A and B are shown apart, each in its own frame.
Chain A
């Protein structure tokens, strides 16, 4: 191994600095808002110096951040030695981190705007141990060649260790997608139409609306409500049509924002399978490239929100052993949007071992009330209180019962499970319909649950927990026949002990 030590690209300084500034932005705004935006620059005015103090603090902090960025870049070196990736940084407290190459699970890449101007990437090194959602090592900005070099060195070492278990031996340019690696398979590529549908069916619109509302409430001081009310009342005089148009326009703007956000995040969303790894690239302004080794996937979930279900779409999420992958979320979205017709074929292509469509064992008819009865526990007090305090109108709260029961019945209709070989499928619904598919060897623990009332009716729930991030992910098939629930436990008990996998 060469003992060459590598530095990050100098742009790192700016990136670190900007990242730091982002944290400062909110306190900054708060201070300005507290001052009511009327900073005076006249030293003779009263309170001028007092107002200056926070500003001075902010300025000093900014300079500190800048220095911090420079020092981080100045001291940061990485090199390869003894089949390890070694990283050293820090001025006063020196930190060293050595990662053996065969412990590295994957490299993930991110290209922000700064990166793209200079042809750089941010590299995040993931190991099995990084379950707290943070990558083991982040190389903030290095050239693409350097990134390739790291990946190649890692590969070479891994291959010599495996003694040619992998037949693919080359230094193929991994960052270039159009390289001549014939093992690459494109699993999914999202088109513009898909993106628009994704934007329309995701919760994005709701979030945007909430955001707009939040911003409005922030600036409520500055909004002359009384005048608006006057105008609104005159609007109503204009007629319902105008109001409807206004509401429609607001919704349209929210939708448009949602579309734009979706485009920025998901533009050119491509899923590629190569070498037992799945690689996802996406992003318009900030390009991201995430790699998941297939054998780290613990369970696959097909999620259909009601809106998506109506239009015949679903999304696919994987639970994977090491969390993060440069994302905050523990679970990793594999397909943000895929039509129901294609989803099974695509997944079959990806994981041939799994059976996707099979008849489900359903909960018995007598289990129906269990799906909504538990909700009465919190419903009854709420209804009682609101009926008592707002007497005549509070009684209307009784109407909540109707949607609650309907959702319960819907959950009842959805719930089911299926066992085939070493595969367990659990289908359940909170609001969205979730199909949870897992292999027996990935299940960490299984539980059956039975309350006193369930026991009387011979009903029990089962749930399976798989590893996912720090806490694990659980799928529950609720209110099954006791016999069926026991069947699941028995299936689990049998296979794991005999090592049939």
Chain B
């Protein structure tokens, strides 16, 4: 077996994922509310209530609790001298290996929610692909970005 990777995503990241899940659930709740209202108004069959309710409860369980947990557990990363290794996934666990020499540029990005929690997403681009390490403490993300760019600069590329 390959060694388990060293770094986890900060616990705060999990909270943010839960928050995203909460927003999605709220959105679904509104939809379900509209559907229920229409059902009430136009005397549509009763089972629509159950379906709408079921979807909301199910999404609450999965999006707020289950999926963020699984995802957080799977997310690992390691930035070594010659390569970056990222492990991610929900149902399918993907291990990605990016050689430093292939890295073209590194971005960090931060939305309003991430800013509130002082977190940043860092995305690593090669000539063909883009890979994201999400939810890093902003400070760490900046440092990591600087480090990758230094390491990547060591070898020049000739694609």
Contact = CB atoms under 8 A, between A and B. Distances in A.
Given A444-B127, A468-B128, A489-B2, A497 B99 contact: yes
A496 B131 CA distance: 18
Given A447-B95, A451-B92, A489-B95, A321 B2 contact: no
Contacts of A467: 126-128, 159
A445 interface: yes
B159 A447 contact: no
Contacts of B96: 445-447
Interface in B33-91: 81-83, 89, 91
Contacts of A468: 128
Most buried by B among A445, A446, A465, A497: A445
B129 A444 contact: yes
Interface in B102-159: 102, 126-129, 131, 155, 159
Given A445-B98, A446-B96, A486-B1, A496 B83 contact: yes
B128 A450 contact: no
A448 interface: yes
Contacts of B126: 444-445, 465, 467
B22 interface: no
B97 interface: yes
A344 interface: no
Contacts of A466: 128
A449 B94 contact: yes
A452 B99 contact: no
Interface residues of A, number: 27
Contacts of B83: 493, 496-497
Contacts of A193: none
Interface in A447-501: 447-452, 455, 465-468, 471-473, 482, 486, 489, 492-493, 496-497, 499
Contacts of B98: 444-445
A486 B128 contact: no
B82 A496 contact: yes
Given A486-B1, A499-B155, A448 B94 contact: yes
Nearest to B81: A497
B97 A447 contact: yes
Contacts of B127: 321, 444, 467, 472
Given A444-B127, A493-B83, A499-B155, A451 B91 contact: yes
Nearest to A462: B95
Nearest to B89: A449
Contacts of B155: 499
A445 B131 contact: yes
B86 to A, nearest CB: 9
A471 B2 contact: no
B31 interface: no
Contacts of B131: 445
Contact of B129 (A451, A465, A492): A465
Contacts of A486: 1-2
B128 A472 contact: yes
A473 B127 CA distance: 11
Determine the interface band of chain B, counting residues with CB < 8 A from chain A.
20 to 34
B92 A472 contact: no
A448 B126 CA distance: 17
A489 B83 CA distance: 12
A444 B127 CA distance: 7
A496 B89 CA distance: 25
A489 to B, nearest CB: 6
Contacts of A489: 2, 95, 97
Nearest to A458: B1
Contacts of B129: 444-445, 465, 472
Given A444-B129, A445-B129, A472-B128, A451 B93 contact: yes
A490 to B, nearest CB: 8
A171 B95 CA distance: 52
B29 interface: no
A501 to B, nearest CB: 10
A492 B89 CA distance: 21
B101 A496 contact: yes
A444 B97 contact: no
B136 to A, nearest CB: 20
Contacts of A445: 96-99, 102, 126, 128-129, 131
A7 B126 CA distance: 40
Contact of B128 (A447, A465, A492, A497): A465
Nearest to B125: A444
Interface of B: 1-2, 81-83, 89, 91-102, 126-129, 131, 155, 159
What 3 A-B pairs come out closest when comparing CB atoms?
A472-B128, A497-B82, A496-B99
26 contacts: A443-B102, A444-B102, A445-B97, A445-B131, A446-B96, A447-B94, A447-B95, A447-B96, A447-B97, A448-B94, A448-B95, A449-B89, A449-B93, A449-B94, A450-B95, A465-B126, A466-B128, A467-B126, A468-B128, A473-B128, A489-B95, A492-B99, A496-B82, A496-B101, A497-B99, A499-B155
Given A450-B92, A468-B128, A492-B97, 12 more contacts: A445-B97, A445-B129, A445-B131, A450-B93, A451-B91, A465-B126, A473-B128, A489-B2, A489-B95, A493-B97, A497-B99, A497-B100
